[in-house]
Amino acid sequence: MTNAKGVIRHIPNVITLLNLVSGCLAIVSAFEGNLYLAGWLIVIAAVFDFFDGFTARLLGAYSPLGKELDSLSDVVSFGVAPSIILFHLLKAALGISGSEGFTTGHFLLAVPFIMAAFSSLRLGIFNLDERQTSSFIGLPTPANAMLIVGLVFGLNSSWGGLFQTITSSPVVLIALTLVMSGLLVCNLPMFSLKLKSLSVKSAYKQLILLCGIVVLVAVFGMASLSFVILLYILLSLLFWMIEPAR
């Protein structure tokens, strides 16, 4: 019985490590030139990231080890992996050939990894900040990663022309990297996506976001992911601006 409890206690950690493996495979896929697969592997990592916490709560299997593993896995899956996607998008936008890169003097290609650094900083702050138990301060790393993945999905959709105008501009990609990196560590309160109640009074933020997601998916289909994250950021900013006045 004791051994069974020991095995059950490690189930959330196994799921967390599957998040890490998915992130590693996303990195490999990106370097092999398959950004679309890399994007899906980051999405899969996000699913594992959700279920490790869900399983830990369900089994009552919280542990200091699990907390550390979660942050380490998130750095890879939602920090390094999307940065490498940005690296490849920026390389293509700059017109750099496959045989050239950072080591041949194209130092602008280091810029996307600012996002990896700020993702790591964000996760460290989150672990130490006791205010972020039921909501967030700054953009969560999975949400940031989903915005980057959304660019790849958009390029492979019927809206590819729109996304091409974004990803073909080095200035836009660099600006996007810097802005998103700043959002990761800013003091903007961002509401949790978890529904604690079906009451409109307590869950109106999540319900408004849900309605927006339905509209965006209906219009953009699989190209909607980046727009969903932008909507989440804008709603968080709006609620932050109006709530102090209440």
pLDDT in tens, the chain (246 residues): 455 556 667 788 888 999 999 999 999 999 999 999 999 999 999 999 988 777 767 766 667 777 788 889 999 999 999 999 999 999 999 999 888 989 899 999 999 999 999 999 999 888 876 666 567 889 999 999 999 999 999 999 999 999 999 999 999 999 999 999 999 999 899 988 765 555 566 678 888 999 999 999 999 998 999 999 999 999 999 998 887 644
Q: What is the CA radius of gyration of the chain?
A: 19
Tokens standing for residue 236: 């968080």
pLDDT in the model for residue 7? 63
Cα 198 from Cα 193, distance rounded (Å): 13
Enumerate the H helices of 191-245 as residue ranges.
200-220, 225-242
- 3-state helix vs strand vs coil in the chain, percent to 5: 80, 0, 20
Task: Categorise residue 221: left if φ over 0, alpha if ψ from -120 to 50, beta otherwise.
Answer: left
Shortest CA distance to 167 belongs to which of 183, 147, 185? 147
Tokens standing for residue 19: 């998040």
Tokens standing for residue 124: 């460290």
The CA-CA-CA angle for residues 170, 80, 229, to 5°, reads 70
Torsion 54-55-60-61 (CA) sign: negative
Full-model pTM = 0.90
Name the β-bridge partners of 197. Answer: none
2-190 — its CATH code?
A: 1.20.120
One-character DSSP codes across 139-178? --HHHHHHHHHHHHHHHTSTTHHHHHHHHT-HHHHHHHHH
The CA-CA-CA angle for residues 144, 149, 155, to 5°, reads 140
pLDDT in the model for residue 133? 59
pLDDT in the model for residue 246? 45
pLDDT in the model for residue 210? 92
User: Packing angle between helix 141-155 and helix 35-59, nearest 10 degrees?
Assistant: 150
